[in-house]
Chain A
């Protein structure tokens, strides 16, 4: 079900609200739902849906359920997740390898880029691309930067990055094209944990800067406990 084609918190709230409805109250045959910026995709087992609704295609039945649930939501006041999830980030140039480039591109100092990144709250719009990668926004227009023309072969795990009006965090060492401005010690994805990701659609996030020393201590303490 598509709600639009822009990065818009109000649109995305509709998506995550509807997603929440199916998490709490799935219909028989429901498998899972995947929120994206402005759409919700619902996966279902056609055998089960048809068995319960033999007179229509399963797809038509599920479309009907989507619309009914959506209309039920429309009358209700939308509630945001009250918690703000804080992500400690070290913006030292050894970790924020593209910070200098971003500053130069935007005509700002590195400190100003960091300040602009940390001074607002972000919504997690969706998680995708790789397990645990959060798409967050909307960043300050002053730090709107393009993706790299050629992706970096290896972006280190925990890298905090920018692309357009979005900011994200790489959950693993993987190739990537976003501009890396810092790094967090927090694990974004743990298959043994429940839930398996640190961040989920609809959450509110704030980045807080930490020194390189503090970052190294956090990393050390983290590995000492695992």
Chain B
């Protein structure tokens, strides 16, 4: 499934409107930066099963994320760098063994429906994207008219022969973590007392696998069940991306981009914001564990990641004298 996404729809969670946005916000922003865009312009988020697009005009684009690799007219294109493709190039995402979501960014971003300040697609309420739905064969997406000076410089440095795509020698190294045992860092959740020391210990020790019933609303996990000591329903409270709820059958769910804004299940943990991109790239069947960290540590990790993104943006600009 492919949808148009951006940084999300902020400001309406008190109305029950989820933030949505890219599942892997880090890869999305890198893809934008690579083709000279501001980090938040709309991109196409494609699931690993594959996708195919036809460039109807010359395009400067970039692909970043996991789960698939870009081919232009059948030839493999490198990830982590801007790519200039001439008009009528066939762009194909071929499934790769690891990762889940790949982001296709084009210079100028994609033009599409906007609702409540965002182009992010939220299918249940038909918001954003193309008619608020996943992309279908035959959809025509226009790129934004306004391209930054940086995008124009990158494009002109790459424009060469008519029928070949081109890319620079430099690239950024951003690959999905390949591991037998991914670690996701998280803090204790507000309802940790419902599980007690034994329950929490079991949670941190457990090896979970990702259920195929996962989607943009949440990543469902399978593993031995962890039961709450206190039985009962929690009065509805706000939840957010990364909140780990313990559902009735004792298996956890990590709430993701399209999750409901409020919920009544006990919250056993909260995934560190910096590790949400890793969560987004988990493929069904993959095994992983959680590791407990403090709130202060989680905050530092997030700030470090934001600084890294800022540095990346500046370094790309410097390369082209912007």
Contacts and interface: CB of A to CB of B under 8 A. Distances in A.
Given A132-B15, A196-B15, A47 B303 contact: yes
A189 interface: yes
Nearest to B298: A59
Nearest to B122: A131
Interface string A134-155: 0100000000000000000000
Given A50-B303, A200-B14, 10 more contacts: A33-B14, A38-B235, A41-B240, A46-B299, A47-B303, A57-B296, A58-B299, A191-B115, A196-B17, A196-B116
Interface residues of B, number: 29
A94 B176 CA distance: 54
Contacts of A43: 10, 13, 240
Contacts of B237: 2, 36-37, 39, 41
A197 B125 CA distance: 13
Given A32-B13, A50-B303, A7 B235 contact: yes
Residue among A36, A131, A132 having the largest count of chain B Cβ atoms under 10 Å:
A131
A6 B15 CA distance: 21
A75 interface: no
Nearest to A127: B16
Contacts of B302: 46
Q: Which 4 residue pairs across A and B have the least CB separation, nearest first? A: A128-B262, A41-B238, A34-B238, A131-B16
A130 B13 contact: no
A132 B190 CA distance: 26
B236 A37 contact: yes
Q: B interface, by DSSP: helix, strand, loop or mixed?
A: mixed
Contacts of B88: none
A11 to B, nearest CB: 10
Please classify how large the interface on chain A is, using the bins under 10, 10 to 19, 20 to 34, 35 or more. 35 or more
Contacts of A2: 190, 237
A110 to B, nearest CB: 28
A191 B125 contact: yes
19 contacts: A2-B190, A32-B11, A34-B262, A46-B303, A57-B295, A58-B299, A126-B236, A126-B262, A127-B14, A127-B16, A128-B236, A129-B262, A131-B15, A131-B17, A131-B125, A174-B124, A189-B15, A191-B116, A196-B17
A126 B16 CA distance: 9
Contact of B299 (A59, A126, A132, A195): A59
Interface in B123-168: 124-125, 127
Contacts of B11: 31-32
A132 B13 CA distance: 10
A128 B238 contact: yes
A5 interface: yes
B37 to A, nearest CB: 20
A133 B13 contact: no
B253 to A, nearest CB: 16
Nearest to A31: B10
Contacts of B240: 41, 43
B33 to A, nearest CB: 17
Contacts of A47: 303, 306
A132 B306 CA distance: 33
Interface in A1-45: 2, 5-7, 19, 31-39, 41, 43
B320 interface: no
B238 A36 contact: yes
A189 B125 contact: yes
Contacts of B14: 19, 32-35, 127, 200-201
A210 interface: no
B2 interface: no
Interface string B268-310: 0000000000000000000000000001100100110010000
Interface in B1-31: 10-17
Contacts of B13: 32, 34, 43
